[in-house]
Amino acid sequence: MDVRWHMKKLTRRAFVLGGRVARGLSPFATRDVHRAVRVLTYHVIGREPRNPFAVDSTSFATQVRWIAESGRALSLENFTAFLGGASDVPPGALLVTLDDGDVSLVEAAAPLLAAHGVPAVAFVPAGEVGTRPAGLRDRRVSWNELQAVSRAGISVGSHAWTHESLGGLSPAEIRTQGERSRKTLEDRLGVPVTAFAYPFGTRRDFNATTRQILHEVGYELLFTSQHGAVRVVSDPLALPRIKVEGGEGMWMFRGLARGGLDGWAMVDRTMWRLQASA
């Protein structure tokens, strides 16, 4: 595990450093920052050594403060307007998203986001709210906690009904996962839910069928875990995001926020080919 951890960290650092060099040499880099949004993905906010899905609270606070002070933060409403061509965005714009509905959403993330005035989107598996699924260290948020988060200004999106891959499900099962989650979230929170983030989000977890059905049941934005920047011409039903990991310094965060991990899309494609061939 330690070898794999360090190898991945070295590779991510190499991408960020390579991206910094490429931006320095590109005559289009300055113009691009005004036309692109990077969607950051977090999962757990808390200290869990060797867990890439966990970012400790101190690091998260520093990252959120930097986002606020650099004027990069977008709300889901701002992001949707940008995609529709109705609004411009600040240079290096960022949309913060938090997946899974881990209890750290209310215990750590929401207070820090509110303190710095940074909007965010929480993607929650509606059927697991208030439970502790097998294998998880902590529980999901409760409905009362999720209602408080929503009232505090964090947008809520669907992460399916249960946290499982949609890629291998039947059309009827996909429809249930999407429709039941959206309706339950809307009924319990009293807000429209039009954004969906695929559980896991690799290329084996979504396809043309999931895209069509999720759009039919009311979702206007579908987020994957594939890396890259979002531009006005991007497909709203196949949106990339950038994963923020634990165990990395602030220079890494600034680098990925500026596009240093956009090239990781190549790794995403390679992994998909390996999975498909297997």
CA dist 24 and 11 (Å) reads 20
Burial 102-125 (b: 16+ CB within 10 A, else e): bbbbbebbbebbbebebbbbbbbb
Query: For position 275, what pLDDT does the model report?
Result: 58
Query: For position 131, what pLDDT does the model report?
Result: 96
CA dist 205 and 153 (Å) reads 29
Token match 């600040």: residue?
Answer: 90
Q: CA 61 from chain center: how many Å?
A: 17
Mean pLDDT per segment of 10 residues, for the chain of length 278 residues?
76 79 47 78 90 94 98 97 89 97 97 97 98 90 97 96 97 98 98 97 96 98 96 96 94 94 79 60
| Through-space distance between the first and last CA atoms of the chain, rounded to whole angstroms | 22
Task: Check: CB of residue 195 under 8 Å from CB of residue 76.
Answer: yes
- Which value, in Å, is the radius of gyration of the alpha carbons in the chain? 18
Query: For position 11, what pLDDT does the model report?
Result: 83
> Domains, the chain, ranges and CATH?
2-277 (3.20.20.370)
Prediction pTM value: 0.92
CA dist 107 and 42 (Å) reads 14
